[in-house]
Amino acid sequence: MDNIGNYEDVTSWNTVILLYNSALKEIETKLQILNDEFQHVHQYNPIEHIKSRLKTPESIVNKLKRRGYESTIANMVKYVNDIAGVRIICSFTSDIYRIADMMARQNDISVLSIKDYIKNPKDSGYKSFHMIVSVPIFLSNETMETKVEIQIRTVAMDFWASLEHKINYKYDGTVPEHIKRELSECAEMVSDLDAKMMSLNEEIKGNEKTYEDMVQGV
């Protein structure tokens, strides 16, 4: 088996980018395979679409400064867990936990932490399911365990989160109270919509005829 590499030996920013980009590819490939398999077995895709991104150097440095750390590669790798991020958009809330479970059961993925903002939303109303995972990147002479943040949310949750991000950016974090209240009300509407859509989907699934039923003319 390849030697396990140490990020403390990594001194090149280009090497860091290579590793995190590779981790994103690994996670995206796993998700696409799982989605294809689910379609094959259940005739249903739990994943609507996947977005991935790497944090910019400026964003990483600012995050380290806010936490009181020097801007070094070692600190970046140790203290910034969302350098590589994958966002998974689903149709229904039930899909979120299904996907999280499927990813957690992958033999080469280690789940480092979980934050369930669906069961425990932020004060703003933000909802999403966050996982920090570690995935091995197999290089020519060593293996590097690399962290990726996975966010899983519904289409409605993603729309709300996108709007909140734009508002916070526009007001530089000092959002007027009346806008905060309206955002919170919208978050409740999103939750109600997700619940109703999932209930409707379950009812439709319960009334679907199987292939055998159709062949037999039931």
Backbone torsion region of residue 35, taken as left when φ is above 0, otherwise alpha when ψ lies between -120 and 50, otherwise beta: alpha
pLDDT, tens only, 98-108: 999 999 999 99
Is a pLDDT exceeding 50 seen at residue 1? no
Element (H, E) at 59: helix 57-66
Question: Among 11-25, 60-74, 156-170, 202-216, which stretch is predicted with the lowest mean pLDDT?
Answer: 202-216
pLDDT score recorded for residue 73: 87
| Percentage of the chain exceeding pLDDT 90 | 69
Q: 3-155 in CATH: which number?
A: 3.30.460.10
Q: Classify each residue of 182-218 as buried b or exposed e, where b means 16 or more C-beta atoms within 10 Å of its C-beta.
A: ebeebbeebbeebeebbeeeeeeeeeeeeeeeeeeee
pLDDT band for position 20 (cuts 50, 70, 90): very high
**Can you give the pTM of this predicted structure?**
0.86
Tell me the one-letter amino acid at 29. T
pLDDT score recorded for residue 67: 93
pLDDT score recorded for residue 218: 47
pLDDT, tens only, 30-39: 999 999 999 9
If you search the block for the tokens 């996982």, which residue do you land on?
A: 131
d(CA 38, CA 29): 14
* 3-state helix/strand/coil string of 24-42: HHHHHHHHHHHHHHHHHHH
Question: Which one has a higher pLDDT value, 4 or 122?
Answer: 122
Q: How many CB atoms lie within 10 A of CB 25?
A: 14
Is a pLDDT exceeding 50 seen at residue 214? no
Where do the domains of the chain lie? 3-155
Question: Which one has a higher pLDDT value, 214 or 16?
Answer: 16
Element (H, E) at 83: none
